[in-house]
Amino acid sequence: MDSFSQLIKSMFDGIAGRYDFMNRFLTGGLDIYWRKVFVKETLAAFIKLSYAKTNNSGFNIADIASGTGDIAIEIYNRLKTDKIVRSFFTDKPIHICCSDFSMPMLKIAREKVRKLSGGRGDNNIKFSFVICDAHNSCFKDSSFDIVFIAFGLRNFSNIKKFISTELKRIVNKTLSLSSILEFNNIFKIKSFKFFQIYYNYFITACASIFSTDTGAYKYLVDSIKNLPRDRDILKLFTDEGFKIFNYRKIFPYLVSRYIAIINNS
């Protein structure tokens, strides 16, 4: 793990206990909506891909940079409540792997997952929790059919290298879909002046009241400022052999969702 990743890991270790509360508070609960849309559209895209229907042996789904497990839980809820999704995945074993480099975050994720279905578990949906760095993961080649990454890309020290090496390596080469949810860099868009002021001042002020680590939330703002533009992120995918299956900004257009596939022949 490089020095940047070590620093970010330590930061997330320190704010794990307040992470969910601060997410809800600072976004006004919009982060819940963003994740729901993200998971819904990703699973719908996977079902739409004709070659995905040929797989009857089950599916491996990764939630990379899982944090406290909100994406994994939303995947589970969608599998159980969405009629179209449920009918497609019926009776097929599903493995959802939550991966993060922060042990305190994953401990919270594991406890939240334990409470699903009253802690009784599920016959065909299984969870696992893996502590590892996304840049140099412990997963075998072609491990996953779907890879989710929500609000984690900006924390990677080398986004281009991650996409060109690890992401390409761990997706299943014949049944692969990668889906990323991330803030878009509003600081490069003049019409987003209000949100620039909100990010620069309000987030830091709230963090000083509700959190003991204001530096972590200053980093949040800085990480958004340092993100490439959407078009540059899309180019990173296409340059590495991915096909952009779907892309859009999600209301109120502070976040973008990228769905990319590789080797869809």
Q: How high is the pLDDT of residue 163? A: 95
Q: In Å, how far are 7, 97, 207, 226 from 1, measured between CA atoms? A: 10, 21, 28, 21
The domain spans of the chain are: 3-262
CA distances from 199 to 29, 46, 181, 224, 241 (A): 16, 34, 18, 9, 34
pLDDT of residue 194: 73
Superfamily classification of domain 3-262? Vaccinia Virus protein VP39 (3.40.50.150)
| Three-class SS state of 186 | helix
Which tokens sit at 105?
């975050």
Cα→Cα distances 117→76, 107, 125, 150, 259, Å? 10, 18, 11, 24, 30
pLDDT in tens, the chain (265 residues): 788 889 889 999 988 998 899 889 888 899 999 999 999 999 999 998 865 556 667 899 999 999 999 999 999 999 999 998 988 887 789 999 999 999 999 999 999 999 886 655 577 899 999 999 999 899 999 999 999 999 999 999 999 999 999 999 999 777 689 999 999 987 777 667 777 777 777 777 776 666 667 777 788 888 888 999 999 999 999 999 999 999 999 988 889 999 999 865 5
Contact 105, 19 (CB under 8 A): yes
